Chain A
Amino acid sequence: EDQVTQSPEALRLQEGESSSLNCSYTVSGLRGLFWYRQDPGKGPEFLFTLYSAGEEKEKERLKATLTKKESFLHITAPKPEDSATYLCAVREPNTDKLIFGTGTRLQVFP
């Protein structure tokens, strides 16, 4: 069964303290791995799509990387405005259905 597991469930960082979020997946034939940011009570905001092992994408303080079994979202020198829940998802083969993990709730303190 296709599955996405994110860790840690919650992460507290001091402003400027870099860290990484993990997303491990099991899917028969990866057709895309997606990272979203979600603020409380809002819909997920699209961040990145990764398709093949070794691929990397960056946006401001965020960098997403992909291996054959997991993806990392690296946050460099985070700021309080980076506080949010970060969701990882994979596309189910032969469909457009996204299978989401439960997310990592990130809090960045000044």
Chain B
Amino acid sequence: DAGVTQSPTHLIKTRGQHVTLRCSPISGHKSVSWYQQVLGQGPQFIFQYYEKEERGRGNFPDRFSARQFPNYSSELNVNALLLGDSALYLCASSLASGRPEAFFGQGTRLTVV
């Protein structure tokens, strides 16, 4: 069975640009969460979506947004990129809300120059 897949794996963007990151959860998983991991730190929670509804939001500015599609895949959008947005963006899927065993994808490495 395929695990969590994220695309692209690497991305370089210029300050002020917009970026869209994509995630396909494990088959049968309905909950998707997004995390940001800066080098040397643990992942920081950005969003959780379950059944296409936002179930949680971390302490990130409104430049960050996300959505979940009917097939449970998800997109994370970041507007007006800053140098400080450079990080590994991780998507995690779990079977359902309340089933917190989360399985992560390989991440998207975003570099803002």
Contacts and interface: CB of A to CB of B under 8 A. Distances in A.
Interface of A: 4, 31-32, 34, 36, 41-46, 49, 87, 89, 91, 95-103
A95 B104 contact: no
B42 A43 contact: no
Nearest to B47: A97
A99 B67 CA distance: 22
A41 B104 CA distance: 13
B107 A95 contact: no
Contacts of B44: 100
14 contacts: A4-B42, A31-B100, A43-B107, A45-B104, A46-B101, A96-B31, A96-B48, A96-B50, A96-B55, A96-B100, A98-B33, A98-B92, A102-B41, A103-B42
A73 to B, nearest CB: 15
Interface of B: 4, 6, 31, 33, 35, 40-45, 48, 50, 55-56, 58, 88, 90, 92, 94, 97-98, 100-107, 109
A20 to B, nearest CB: 19
Main secondary structure of the interface of B (DSSP, over half): strand
Given A32-B100, A45-B104, 6 more contacts: A42-B106, A43-B105, A43-B107, A46-B102, A95-B48, A96-B56
Contacts of A101: 42
Given A42-B106, A43-B4, A43-B107, A102 B100 contact: no
A16 B78 CA distance: 45
Nearest to A44: B104
A102 B42 contact: yes
A100 B41 CA distance: 9
